[in-house]
Amino acid sequence: MSLQSALLRCPGCGTVFRAPAILPAHGRVRCGVCSEVFAAQADVDPLPSGRTGHAADIPRPAYVSAVTASAPGAGLLRAGLVVVLLVMLAGQLLWLGRNRVAELPGLRPLLEVACQRLGCSLPLFRDLRAIRVAEARVTSHPDYAGALLAVVRLENGAPLAQPWPRLALALTGPADAVVAERLFEPAEYLPAERQGNPQFATGATVEVRLPLADPGTTAAGFRFTLH
Cα separation, 109 vs 101, in Å, equals 11
Rounded to 10 degrees, the C-alpha dihedral 117/121/127/128 comes to 160
pLDDT of residue 120: 73
User: Do the domain assignments include residue 68?
Assistant: no
Give the end of a domain, one of 84, 118, 152. 118
Cα 14 from chain centroid?
Answer: 50
Residue type, 177: A
User: Do the domain assignments include residue 51?
Assistant: yes
The length of the chain in residues reads: 227
- Cα dihedral sign for 191, 193, 199, 201? negative
CA angle in degrees (0–180, nearest 5) for 209-212-217: 125
Q: Tell me the C-alpha to C-alpha distance, in Å, between residue 38 and each of 29, 50, 128, 175.
A: 6, 28, 67, 88
User: Do the domain assignments include residue 69?
Assistant: no
Same domain, 96 and 137: no
Same domain, 151 and 110: no
Contacts of 7 (CB under 8 A, 6+ apart): 16, 17, 18, 19, 42, 44, 45, 46, 47, 58
Total domains in the chain come to 3
Write down the number of H helices and E strands in the chain.
5, 13
Alpha helices in 102-171, H assignment, sequence order:
108-118
Return the CATH number at 170: 2.70.50.60
Residue-number span of the structural domain to which 29 is assigned: 3-63
User: Do the domain assignments include residue 47?
Assistant: yes
Cα 47 from chain centroid?
Answer: 64
pLDDT of residue 224: 95
Which of 38-47, 97-106, 166-175, 189-198 is predicted least confidently?
97-106
| Mean pLDDT calculated for residue range 155-178 | 92
Sheet with 167-172, strands from edge to edge, namely: 178-184, 167-172, 221-226
Per-residue confidence at 76, pLDDT binned at 50, 70, 90?
confident
pLDDT of residue 91: 61
Same domain, 78 and 36: no
Contact (CB, 8 A) for 153 and 208: yes
Residue 145 has pLDDT above 80, yes or no: yes
pTM of model > 0.75 = no
Same domain, 98 and 34: no
Same domain, 160 and 189: yes
Same domain, 17 and 104: no
